[in-house]
Chain A
Amino acid sequence: MTGFSRSGLSRSGAARPAPPCGTAVGKEHERARSGGARRFRLGDWHAYLFVAPSLFGVAAFLLLPVLIVFGLSLFDWELLSEPEFVGLANYERLAGDGEAWHSVWVTILYVLLCIPLQTVLALGLAVMLDQRVKGIRFYRALFVIPWMATPIVMGLIWYWIFDPRDGAINRALGLVGITGPDWLSDPTWALPAVALVNVWQHTGYTMLFFLAGLQGIPKELYDAAAVDGATPVQRFFRVTLPLLNPTMFFVSVTSLIGAFQVFDTVFAMTDGGPSGSTEVINFSIFQTAFREFDFGYAATLSLLLFVIILVVTLVQVRFFSKRTTYDLS
């Protein structure tokens, strides 16, 4: 996890000299642009030679497609007809496209439903599974299994679980006298239902990162905290959480990106409905490109998603870089 603290987290140099529990945390220091990084200068072509293979990969499979998508967004192209250059017309259309902004709103709602719950659950699970108990590996694996399943397959299975009549959920609710809603055909419940499936699927995977982060925290810190009279709750908030900061950054960035790009489960469970209540941006892009064959505008929507994710990620970088990073090496 320390790899992450190197990538700019501590660049701000705002590391406050305030270790959580007395003197127990010792080796905290700033690592901004120091040490090894200076050995590589721009002129050192050997370095480029070494990174060339992956640089090629990034250029060919990341930069180039992004540029192509940007280029596409300047065209009106319905696949079967010749592309026609329209300048910024697609962007003008986007500005007045209520449906596109509706899907941005749906996406944000979805992210808010998913990420906090998923992160808290994953952290809780990680703390519980960070124990030396017999068979712990089995339990850990158990929680990661949902992540290994194909989202489309999961979506289909949950589609049946959510069935208002024969589904497991409403059957169970029926046993205690509650008439469950028509989960996936009720605009109020469809998005939470899709979010729940994603939380269920990704919590185990997120938990893995927290688990790795937890195992990087020296046990002496807890001992020292206990000696100082800290309760388990205090130990969690004063030792565990601050030391998980780099992990939290990684988890937060990657799971937010993943959540903003949700598609498969929506496709399998609701097809964007009912009444557009689960029409996230990625689904609109799919719809525009592959059902309406309007590739230019779909490219414009893709760039919108790109910009949103970029901004959200930059905000997180700023947020986390203002916080202290502890070097545990």
Chain B
Amino acid sequence: MRTPIAALLGAAVLALSACGSGDAGGGSEKVTLTYRLWDEQQKVGYDKVMANFEKANPGIDVKVEVLPWDQYWTKLTADAVAGTAPDVFWMQPTSFPEFVTKGVLADVGGLKLDTAKYHPTVVQTFTYEGKLYGVPKDWGIVGLLYNKDLFKAAGVEMPEKLTWAPDGSGTLLEIARKLTVDQNGKHPGEPGFDKDKIKTYGFASWNHYQTQWMNWVVSNGGKLLDKPFGTYTFNDPAGVQALQFGVDLVNKYNVAPPATQTNPPTGKMTDIFKRGEVAMFPANNALLPFVAPEVAFELGIAPMPEGPAGRAVNLNGLAEVVYAKSKNKDAAMKLAAYLASEEPQKLMADEGYVFPAITSLAQGYVDYWKSKNLDVSPFLEEAKGTTFPLPVTTGFTGFETKMVQIFNDMYLGKLTPQQAADQAVAEGNATVQ
């Protein structure tokens, strides 16, 4: 009896050890990468992208990790300090300077990307000292959403192009006035118009830098920064005139809701537009999935108004960056190279998530939204013209809250545009390193 048991035991031990060595062998070859993003919706798309990547690279597993925006940056910073940041993660323009100057991001020059394929503003955004530190992923752009029902009710056509100028001339103000109606049916400028009892507003002018005043400043010939990684300059005359125009739309011309209703973080401009109480609303195309399905009126999209210096709109590019201290840098670079290629970018465009960074694939996004009865081609049209990134310089993320507070006071009329711009520029430049 003894012998068979011993034999069985021996066999079992052998089998176990065989298993063990087999596992160890597989584990040493298999690499697991972490890919971190902040957008729950896009995760669905990226799960598919990663499945495709894993199929083509059997030795690499990719763990897709979503962190909500607010936690994303805190956690990322802490991880970078601890040396445990994800291998590949999303990066946005205003956070980029902080991370790239502190050596957290790897130079992706080794991938030998053909940068001409990507939107130039995105490439420019993630370039530091002449080197590219991220794979251009996608971009979002500011366009003019408008309420076609309100236009019809006021008997107004959306013109081929809207124009504005600091002195109040141009078609934007003219049309906004026609669309602004008080409870007695009077428009601003007419005798008996009651600015405290306005029913619908013509235009959404409010303290939102990305879709509002930064666009006024640049389309008036002003500059946000003297150069990338430089200092703020929006308090020059062109900048201040542009800010004045934004404030005038609210407080002087009465064609936009008062700042008390719209100032962040408690203001609700998007809701006011969704309720059908404001006719024109500059917004990033990324907002579409949150607006289009929820409105009871017919939604239109137009290019942003042209200023004295022409049309210049914010184009917000995102990149996928590789952690400089990644333990699996080769695999991470392989993933970055894949993300820069057409296959994943086409998937994300065709399923309507984003405008891809590769310009030739943008039509996929337009077609997706066409199938939802929305013509988003004005966004694409704008992207072919003058575009500018958010201020790419160190310290912006810390400065942002103060800047928003200062401009809140400006829209409330407590600070003049010159005072607000001077204060903000001084505060901002104190944070630039």
Chain A interface (Cβ within 8 Å of chain B)?
79-81, 159, 163-165, 182, 184-186, 190, 269-276, 287, 290-294
Contact = CB atoms under 8 A, between A and B. Distances in A.
A291 B409 contact: no
Contacts of B268: 163
A80 B266 contact: no
Given A273-B405, A275-B405, A291-B401, A185 B267 contact: yes
Contacts of A294: 398
Interface of B: 74, 77-78, 80-81, 98-99, 102, 104, 260-261, 263-268, 397-398, 400-401, 404-405, 408-409, 412, 414, 431
B171 to A, nearest CB: 30
A151 to B, nearest CB: 16
Given A270-B265, A275-B414, A182 B260 contact: yes
B334 to A, nearest CB: 26
A185 B263 contact: yes
Contacts of A163: 268
Contact of B81 (A80, A164, A165, A287): A80
**Which of B80, B408, B431 lies at the interface centre, i.e. has the most chain A CB atoms within 10 A of its CB?**
B408
B405 A276 contact: yes
Contacts of B74: 290
B16 to A, nearest CB: 42
Contact of A80 (B77, B267, B398, B404): B77
Contacts of A290: 74
Contacts of B431: 292
**Which of B99, B267, B400, B414 lies at the interface centre, i.e. has the most chain A CB atoms within 10 A of its CB?**
B267
Nearest to A268: B265
B99 A80 contact: yes
B77 A293 contact: yes
A276 B266 CA distance: 13
Nearest to A80: B102
B398 A293 contact: yes
A186 B80 CA distance: 39
A184 B261 CA distance: 10
Contacts of A165: 261
Nearest to A186: B260
A291 B398 contact: yes
Given A186-B260, A273-B263, A291-B398, 19 more contacts: A80-B104, A81-B102, A164-B260, A182-B266, A184-B266, A185-B263, A185-B266, A271-B401, A272-B401, A272-B405, A273-B408, A275-B405, A290-B74, A291-B400, A291-B401, A292-B398, A293-B98, A293-B397, A294-B398
Contacts of B409: 275
A79 B78 CA distance: 8
16 contacts: A80-B81, A182-B266, A185-B261, A269-B266, A270-B266, A271-B401, A272-B405, A273-B266, A274-B266, A275-B412, A275-B414, A291-B400, A292-B431, A293-B98, A293-B397, A293-B398
Nearest to A166: B271
A81 B433 CA distance: 12
Given A271-B265, A274-B266, A185 B104 contact: no
A165 B261 CA distance: 9
Given A185-B267, A287-B401, A79 B261 contact: no
A76 B423 CA distance: 24
A270 B261 CA distance: 13
B98 A80 contact: yes
A2 B327 CA distance: 59
Contact of B408 (A159, A182, A184, A274): A274
A270 B401 CA distance: 12
A276 B74 CA distance: 22
**Which of A80, A272, A287 lies at the interface centre, i.e. has the most chain B CB atoms within 10 A of its CB?**
A80
B265 A80 contact: no
**Which of A80, A184, A185, A293 lies at the interface centre, i.e. has the most chain B CB atoms within 10 A of its CB?**
A185
